[in-house]
Chains A and B, each alone.
Chain A
Amino acid sequence: SAVISQKPSRDICQRGTSLTIQCQVDSQVTMMFWYRQQPGQSLTLIATANQGSEATYESGFVIDKFPISRPNLTFSTLTVSNMSPEDSSIYLCSDGTGVRETQYFGPGTRLLVL
């Protein structure tokens, strides 16, 4: 099983600023996924991060707002740019090979934007 860590675990930010969330996996993985989960809601996929290529964004999410880096097979970052209170949420990263039945999640980053 993969062990995934995220930093920071939580943050309180001012509107208009940006926050970069780091995700580290203890083994090499082909794909990493970034999800958003608002309180009491389900997980919504933001984007898929592949090493060596640009991230693939889901409908409603754009690169200018959520730039993603994937410098190697164990690490990725998600930046939440020009934040507003609507960005207050839990951001989770996850690993994936695309076919394996199990997907592991990081502990999440709890973001509050004032």
Chain B
Amino acid sequence: GQSLEQPSEVTAVEGAIVQINCTYQTSGFYGLSWYQQHDGGAPTFLSYNALDGLEETGRFSSFLSRSDSYGYLLLQELQMKDSASYFCAVRDGGSQGNLIFGKGTKLSVKP
């Protein structure tokens, strides 16, 4: 089966950099995704890594090390609007291909 571990909460100040780690155990690996969810909102896609290395999209970057079964989401120049829950997810290796989500990291950005 699949399992993902990520910190439950992180607090940072505006303008800072924060890293949210995710370790995973999977029976097959099809890439690591990150989703953002604001309170009362739906999860929205942030990034996807299938290969080792860093993917950068504006202020957000995501890193993957397949040999370590580890990835992280890096948020730079934090803004108040970045306060949200962040979920790492892997795709089920079975035929359905659905996403399996971690428990989520609640990020609070303080002024």
Contacts and interface: CB of A to CB of B under 8 A. Distances in A.
Interface in B79-111: 87, 95-104, 106
A108 B100 contact: no
22 contacts: A31-B98, A40-B106, A41-B103, A42-B87, A42-B103, A43-B43, A43-B87, A45-B100, A92-B42, A96-B96, A96-B97, A96-B98, A96-B99, A98-B96, A99-B30, A101-B31, A101-B33, A102-B48, A103-B33, A107-B41, A108-B41, A108-B42
Interface residues of A, number: 23
Interface in A52-104: 56, 92, 94, 96-99, 101-104
Contacts of A48: 96, 98
**A contact patch SS:** loop
Chain B at the A interface: SS class: loop
Given A94-B99, A102-B45, A107-B42, 16 more contacts: A42-B87, A42-B101, A42-B102, A42-B104, A43-B99, A43-B101, A48-B96, A92-B42, A98-B96, A98-B98, A99-B97, A101-B31, A102-B48, A103-B45, A106-B42, A107-B41
